[in-house]
Amino acid sequence: MQQLISDLQAANIGDIRIHERLAPYTTWKIGGPADVLVISHEKEQLSTLIRMLYERGVPWTIIGRGSNLLVSDKGIRGVVIKLGSALESLRFDGATVYAGGSYSFIKLSVLAAKEGLTGLEFASGIPGSVGGAVYMNAGAHGSDVSRILKQAEVILDTGELVIMQTEDLQYAYRHSILHTLPGIVTEAVFDLQVGERKEIAGAMAAYRDRRLRTQPLQLACAGSVFRNPVGEFAAKLIEEAGLKGKRVGGAEISPLHANFIVNTGNATAEDVLTLIQEVKRIVQDQYGISLVPEVLVMGER
């Protein structure tokens, strides 16, 4: 590992941090150390980094803005990558939007609304980066990324930079081909529509007010923990099972929204995972429905 670190430093691939705790980099504020954390500030740095890791057979993981993500207490082996500020680019060309992979998805929706463009209203409450949203096919309020994405620029695990059209990403509910074809989204191009600013602002305000009333946004969390089963809502099933407020260690099923698990201050990844398994067991026993986690679990168990 020391030789790899020396090689990475010589290649000038960004900021390199050894045995860095990952909890501060996640919205759950949970997670052990990375063997090596690299913050790449330029696309060329990132491509060089991925190519070097590929040639050496070193595993890598990308964490983006750390939402929708649970890092294990033992941390992540190999190299963890975080995209730096240089990949936060944003450009409007009429109704077409070019957004860098590390750009805030929420901020993108707000600025698109100010431009009088409709199509991204659903994103106004989805934390995380544009790249993460493309990877997960993030969605809410009856819409998702697949409906507005034109194409994505992706660095594959070989270091090759490719352009993937929407159909290439093989989108499904909270899923894309990038779950099985490792790659990092460096830019996304969205096709929006010109709309009425007042209508767009009104829809976003309604979504914001609903979030403030129903979601524990003041506490460390990762958004919705479980996918909605077909024809059902995970939150409704969990609430009807009487699980609101249930705790394991420092992890708690939010009394405000049953599909949120919050860190009350000292939660570990094992606390969260134990609580997830308990929720799955009880819902399966009571309703015969198998809940599938939406959050990504990363790291050594």
Q: Where are the alpha helices (DSSP H) in the chain?
A: 2-11, 43-56, 105-114, 130-136, 197-214, 234-240, 269-287
Identity of residue 273: L
Among 3, 136, 169, residue whose Cα is nearest residue 64: 136
Active-site residue, from 121, 153, 187, 294: 294
Active-site residue, from 174, 176, 252, 254: 174
Residue 12 vs residues 39, 41, 42, 54, 225: alpha-carbon distances, Å: 11, 10, 11, 17, 37
Cβ count within 10 A of residue 76? 23
Would residue 91 show up in a list of annotated catalytic residues for this protein?
no
DSSP state of 26: S
DSSP characters over 95-133: TEEEEETTSBHHHHHHHHHHTTEES-GGGGG--SBHHHH
- What whole-number distance in Å separates Cα of residue 233 and Cα of residue 231? 7
In the numeric block, the tokens 């993500």 are attached to: 69
Token pair for 46: 């990132």
Would residue 224 show up in a list of annotated catalytic residues for this protein?
yes
Would residue 294 show up in a list of annotated catalytic residues for this protein?
yes
Question: Beta 60-62 vs 76-83: how paired, if at all?
Answer: parallel
65 close to 127: Cβ distance less than 8 angstroms: yes
176 close to 169: Cβ distance less than 8 angstroms: yes
Active-site residue, from 67, 72, 129, 224: 224
- What whole-number distance in Å separates Cα of residue 92 and Cα of residue 99? 9
Active centre residues (catalytic): 174, 224, 294
